[in-house]
Amino acid sequence: MQQKPGVLELYVHIPFCVRKCNYCDFLSFAAGRDSRELMERYCQALREEIRAGGDTSRLVTSVFFGGGTPSLLDGNQMTGLMDAIRASFRLDREAEISLEANPGTLSHGKLEAFRQAGFNRLSIGLQSASDQALVMLGRIHSLDQFLDNYEEARRCGFTNINIDIMSGLPGQSLEDYKKTLDLVTGLRPEHISSYSLIVEEGTPLARSDKLLAALPDEEADRAMYRETGQRLEEAGYRRYEISNYALPGKECRHNLGYWSGLPYLGLGLGAASYLPVEQASDSPAEGTPTFCRFSNSRIMKTYLESPWLPYGKRPDYTILTLEDRMEEYMFLGLRKREGVSISSFGQNFGRSLDQVYGNVVRTYEKSGHLETLGDRLRLTEKGIDVSDYIFRDFMLVD
């Protein structure tokens, strides 16, 4: 993947939620609002992990607190975590520092404290403007609670807010979905993410025949996707990734880093990392660092079960092969509206994009799903519609 030496992104996982939503398979637990002791222990373990993983040799350009529901933590806990990050990493003064929040867990006092702790971007999960849909999804909040929290965040000085919405909900018509689009465009957040609902195995949604039967068909789902693009672009948002839209200059820098192959360190339960490793045998050129990925769920589990244990070794990691990295370069890069850089592929991997993917690219260019614009290869509108199928053809390893 494209590598910018000297830069690092941090992801911090907070796995607590008030309760599980009906469609959720993220690593999160229904901790409830009264699990203060468990959350406090988690924060303590996390602060130790932040210190142990500290690295001041690279500039941290973004920090993203995701979950779960990070906004369940209180102001002191967030301040403690951000202080630990500042003491252990070289945090860019201009760093984007994002916090995922759910309506119903925010208050004036918390929002003030989060701003004071350094958060300058808030990502609020609305999902739908219909209270009926929110109940069906098992969300903890109503539309009014979302609106109160959103307005309060503005009053507390958050000038960079994302709203998450979802399409393809059981029983949802295009007209219903348009009401959600009307609401969010009316609020004018700086960023909007819109994902189609995915039925994940093992969730209450996947077990409900009634809800499954009410899911919109693929054509209706595509119509909602197209409506999103059209309505948001008319309202001044630019689609810069398959499911993400931003006002000019307000793209999420942290996620752009993921899609562009910047190294990141994940902290907290189950958080994955993607970091350079020296001297890997399949390095594309001698002396060029390659990347490894590891998930630190084991270390955090150890902490939670036995908080007195000293910090141990990093958990096992996987060294990514050249093929893994070439695949990821394509999968992630093609998600971006600007696509992938053809010349960077050659510089990163020592083989040209044409040598590795020439046949696939030519096939999809002929069918109108991919297009080359100067040094960039990107999906066309038609290609975005079937991107999941196209990505499969960029796989090099089974």
Q: What is the contact surface with ligand SF4 in residues (CB under 6 A)? A: 17, 20-21, 24, 26, 28, 67-69, 102
Cβ nearer to ligand SF4, comparing 17 with 377:
17
Shortest distance, position 212 Cβ to ligand SF4, whole Å: 18
Measured in whole angstroms, how far is the alpha carbon of residue 79 from the centre of its chain?
22
Shortest distance, position 20 Cβ to ligand SF4, whole Å: 5
Choose among 40, 48, 45, 122: nearest CA to 73.
40
Shortest distance, position 83 Cβ to ligand SF4, whole Å: 25
CB of 326 closer than 8 Å to CB of 396: yes
Cβ nearer to ligand SF4, comparing 3 with 102:
102
Name the token pair of 293. Answer: 């990925």
Cβ nearer to ligand SF4, comparing 29 with 331:
29
Cβ nearer to ligand SF4, comparing 21 with 256:
21
Shortest distance, position 122 Cβ to ligand SF4, whole Å: 15
Cβ nearer to ligand SF4, comparing 20 with 179:
20
Choose among 386, 335, 331: nearest CA to 364.
386
Say which residues have a Cβ less than 8 Å from residue 322's Cβ, sequence separation at least 6: 282, 284, 290, 349
Shortest distance, position 153 Cβ to ligand SF4, whole Å: 17
Shortest distance, position 263 Cβ to ligand SF4, whole Å: 25
Cβ nearer to ligand SF4, comparing 17 with 95:
17
Query: 355: buried, middle or exposed (CB in 10 Å: 19+, 13-18, 0-12)?
Result: exposed
In this structure, the strands spanning 161-167 and 121-127 are parallel
CA separation, residue 38 to residues 32, 57, 285, 303, 328 (Å) = 10, 33, 47, 11, 36
